[in-house]
């Protein structure tokens, strides 16, 4: 097996230094990068192939667990924490292992061996959004967690999507097809340029959905599917 590329994500410099030293002295591991925040790591994971992440749980702006929840596909994740009661997070999200600070080299090697075994056996980590009622979006150089119940509709703008809540709009780089897969059943495609939250639909008039912020047209090719979702008396 070629060297496994590792990423360190921890806001504590001393902790990063310890893990960096362990990685460098371990055969078969290669340090691909390190970050003091999860947002930068999120960017790196979309541009660099990583085999193992050593990921701190408690970080400002975006926690390690929120980073895990924001990604659909993950490499092997070894959580790092200073609290013993946080170990359950690794099992809840089906992650590789967890290390409790201060990290010892023997325990580090044990976690790495588990990661190597998973990689050799083709164990790819798949993680959905954090729950059935939240969605993470990248907007304004931040990772933002939205409650699905707050979203009224999504509008296509060329290569971007405009997610509309009651008081804010979020521009995200995505496609309609990709967003449709992220949303639960109450989000319905009603037009080639619109997805609406059925729970926010109060009035339909002349094949237009009346929203507080906008009147949304219902496309002919989407009309029958949309009407079939309505609970008519």
Confidence (pLDDT) at 15? 95
Residues paired with residue 215 on neighbouring β-strands, in sequence order: 210
Between 184 and 216, name the one with better pLDDT.
Answer: 216
Task: Just give the CATH number of 4-126.
Answer: 3.40.50.2300
Omega of the bond leading into 187 within 30 degrees of 0 (cis) = no
Looking at domain 134-228, what is its CATH homologous superfamily?
A: LytTr DNA-binding domain (2.40.50.1020)
**pLDDT tens per residue, range 139-162:** 666 778 888 889 999 999 877 889
Tokens (6 digits) for 121: 């056996």
CA distance 56 to 203: 47
CA nearest to 116, candidates 105, 128, 108: 108
Confidence (pLDDT) at 92? 63
Domain with CATH 3.40.50.2300 in the chain: 4-126
Q: What are phi and psi of 218, to 5 degrees?
A: -105, 115
The total of other beta-carbon atoms located within 10 Å of residue 118's CB is 18
The model's pTM: 0.60
CA distance 114 to 4: 13
**DSSP for residue 84:** G
Of the ranges 39-43, 60-64, 119-123, 139-143, which one carries the lowest mean pLDDT score?
139-143
Domain with CATH 2.40.50.1020 in the chain: 134-228
Confidence (pLDDT) at 126? 39
Between 66 and 90, name the one with better pLDDT.
Answer: 66
- Alpha carbon of 19 to those of 12, 15, 112, 123, 199: distances in Å? 11, 6, 12, 24, 47
Between 66 and 52, name the one with better pLDDT.
Answer: 52
């Amino acid at each position: 097996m070629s060297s496994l590329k590792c990423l360190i994500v921890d806001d504590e410099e001393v902790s990063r230094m310890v893990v960096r030293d362990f990685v460098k002295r371990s055969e078969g591991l290669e340090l691909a990068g390190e970050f003091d925040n999860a947002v930068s790591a999120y960017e790196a994971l979309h541009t660099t192939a990583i085999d193992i992440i050593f990921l701190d749980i408690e970080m400002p702006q975006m926690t390690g667990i929120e980073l895990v929840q924001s990604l659909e596909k993950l490499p092997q994740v070894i959580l790092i924490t200073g609290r013993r009661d946080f170990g359950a997070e690794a099992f809840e999200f089906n992650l590789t292992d967890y290390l409790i600070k201060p990290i010892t080299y023997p325990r580090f090697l044990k976690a790495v061996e588990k990661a190597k075994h998973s990689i050799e056996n083709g164990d790819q980590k798949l993680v959905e959004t954090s729950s059935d009622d939240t969605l993470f979006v990248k907007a304004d150089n931040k990772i933002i967690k939205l409650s699905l119940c707050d979203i009224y509709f999504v509008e296509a703008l060329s290569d971007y999507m405009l997610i509309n809540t009651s008081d804010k709009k979020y521009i995200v780089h995505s496609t309609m097809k990709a967003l449709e897969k992220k949303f639960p059943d109450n989000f319905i495609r009603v037009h080639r340029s619109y997805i609406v939250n059925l729970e926010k639909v109060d009035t339909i008039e002349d094949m237009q959905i009346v929203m507080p912020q906008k009147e949304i047209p219902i496309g002919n090719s989407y009309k029958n599917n949309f009407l079939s979702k309505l609970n008519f008396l």
